[in-house]
Structure 1
Amino acid sequence: MFRYCTNPDRQIGESKKAYAKKIKQRTELLHFLQISVSTWARPDAAHDVSTDPKRRQWDPEQRKLRLNPKGRTQTRKFRPTVPIARQMAPLLNATTGYYVNVASVRQAWEGMQSALGLPGDRESGLKLIRRSMAQLARNRMTRAEWIEGKIMLGHNRPDQSDLYGMDEPGDLPRALEVTEQIIDEIIMLAPLAFAKIDADPEAKSDSE
């Protein structure tokens, strides 16, 4: 998936300009993949990530991200505060405003589904990254450690017993360690997966 965005197949005779345009057109999909892997967030929360100080989401000093922006009421689909991987933090620091700069990457995702031969059903929809991260992380964490995984996923609203030994919301050291390990493995397969790809800043639009 990452290579589809960063190193797409180049057609015979395709000009350098046309190839660069293809990569640029996949930038927001790449951003969605990056933030989804880093946060394990639901697609709506991934689209909603912003570095705008008024939203009070990104804390670069603590390297934590509040998936629920200031002023938004929490729903039953709880949006937690999560630690951000060292590979992702520079990308957020270099961002002004929304990280995914379109209202939805669904159209781009469906294009990738078709190109990669992924099943065109719910199992390979936008929630695929979240489900995959949950499964990969669960396989690396003990039963006791998995409480951090549940908090990352928003399946468990942390209470005092959950936070025992933790400093504050977003202090999830084992979940962070596992996330960084997974990202390192992604980068081994797709070296540009978490590299900064320049694109002209645009206002958040209604579609890809």
Structure 2
Amino acid sequence: MKDQAPSDVLLSTVLTRYMHQHGADLASSDSASRGVDLWNEFFGPRATVAEVTIPRQEEFMKWLAEREYSDGYVRRMLGVGKSALNRAWKRGEITQVPFVELPPIGEAYPHYATRDQIVRLLNAEMPEHIWAYFLVRLCTACRGDAARDLQRFQIDTEAGLVHLNPAGRRQTKKYRPTVPLLPALAAHLKTAKPEAHLVHWHGAHIKSIKTTWRKLRKRALLPAWFVPKTVRHTLATWLRQRGVPAWDVSGLLGHHAGGTTDTYAKFDPTYMGPVRQALNEIIEDLGKDVPRLRALLGVTVGSPCVTLESTLSTPSLEVSGLRVVGGTGFEPVTPTMSR
């Protein structure tokens, strides 16, 4: 394709060529593919590039908003089409492309849940894969796509770490950090089916939970503003309320990327120590009122010391990269402990 007029080129052609020629190289290829699908669904298969006018773009944004997509998500989906059009123009395939005006970034997500709301969510009846999804998000404070993508090989039980960004995947602006492996998630690994993805439907990778989520939100009597990412924002809020340093919380959330030296910091036994301890305390506290979480933890929550519910005659026990210590709680396994 060379020097084509915008009125002679189908928008669907530009979008399809973008994904086939460039989409596979994108770290956020899944998001780009979803964006292409939404553009094609709204504009239709016969719309030309010239028809992507500002009024039509505004109608597109309104259409996306009516589907309950967040402002940030709408902006990302608009950006996919803009990138596809600009790429075609830069490569000389089209003589001119319309200007795609992205909506403003907007304010940070303002909501965080109460403890009662999180308890109601975790106690609500839900499919096994949705429970696994929220457990991963609760134990890592990760984003939804990172939770759905998480596979067993990304979890280093010996070092007690969860590599949210798998080897070979290029980092995006939504940085996926390496975070501590908490006992609740470690216990889930031992009891869950040995599928590659921790969040799966009969072994198949889960791409979205939107349909199930709407039913679950009503079942748990949660407000309309409560969306899955509310869990992440709530954890960040609770961690700061517990005095965890802002830098540690930022690292857990992937809001900053470490340099070359920091690559080795995660193997320090004290890596994210305040975050590890505070998250454990949060999960143990929730376990007091969430039987499924309490059973998974395998601890007597609320007792003067942390003990295993099962018979334990030895003073300490290593569990998936962590050590349960008689009256002191959890601590990371050092190389000496591993031996």
Q: TM-score, length-normalised on structure 1? A: 0.72
Aligned partners of 1:3 and 1:118: how far apart in 2?
Answer: 12
CA contact (8 A) 1:82 1:152 kept: yes
In structure 2, stretches of 5+ residues that fail to align are 1-120, 201-205, 297-339
Partner of 2:293: 193
CA contact (8 A) 1:63 1:84 kept: yes
In the alignment, is residue 104 of structure 1 matched against residue 208 of structure 2?
yes
- Per-residue CA distance 1:62-93 (angstroms, 9 max, x = gap): 11000001221100100000001112212124
Aligned partners of 1:164 and 1:147: how far apart in 2?
Answer: 17
Aligned partners of 1:105 and 1:152: how far apart in 2?
Answer: 23
Partner of 2:159: 62
Aligned partners of 2:266 and 2:177: how far apart in 1?
Answer: 15
In the alignment, is residue 32 of structure 1 matched against residue 133 of structure 2?
yes
Partner of 1:204: none
Aligned partners of 2:167 and 2:261: how far apart in 1?
Answer: 26
In the alignment, is residue 3 of structure 1 matched against residue 123 of structure 2?
yes
Q: 2:142 is paired with a residue of what secondary structure? A: coil
- Per-residue CA distance 1:175-206 (angstroms, 9 max, x = gap): 0101100100111011212646xxxxxxxxxx
Aligned partners of 1:175 and 1:164: how far apart in 2?
Answer: 18
**Deviating runs (4+, > 3 A) in structure 1?**
159-170
CA contact (8 A) 1:67 1:80 kept: yes
- Per-residue CA distance 1:143-201 (angstroms, 9 max, x = gap): xx2211100000011347979987559921110101100100111011212646xxxxx
Distance 1:83 1:195, change over 3 A: same
Q: Percent identity between the aligned chains? A: 26
Mapping for residues 39-188 of structure 1, pairs under 5 Å:
39-51=140-152, 53=153, 57-95=154-192, 96=194, 97-101=196-200, 102-120=206-224, 123-142=225-244, 145-159=245-259, 167-168=267-268, 171-188=271-288
Q: 1:65 is paired with a residue of what secondary structure? A: strand
Per-residue deviation, 1:119: 2.5
The structure with the larger Rg is 2
CA contact (8 A) 1:82 1:169 kept: no
Distance 1:43 1:194, change over 3 A: farther
Aligned partners of 2:281 and 2:143: how far apart in 1?
Answer: 21
Aligned partners of 2:222 and 2:214: how far apart in 1?
Answer: 9
CA contact (8 A) 1:38 1:88 kept: yes
- Per-residue CA distance 1:24-54 (angstroms, 9 max, x = gap): x621111111110100001111111110x3x
CA contact (8 A) 1:106 1:126 kept: no
Query: Match for 1:47: what amino acid?
Result: R
Aligned partners of 1:115 and 1:94: how far apart in 2?
Answer: 26
Query: Match for 2:122: what amino acid?
Result: F
Distance 1:131 1:62, change over 3 A: same
CA contact (8 A) 1:28 1:105 kept: no
Q: TM-score, length-normalised on structure 2? A: 0.46
CA contact (8 A) 2:139 2:185 kept: yes
Query: Match for 1:80: what amino acid?
Result: P
Mapping for residues 196-207 of structure 1, pairs under 5 Å:
none
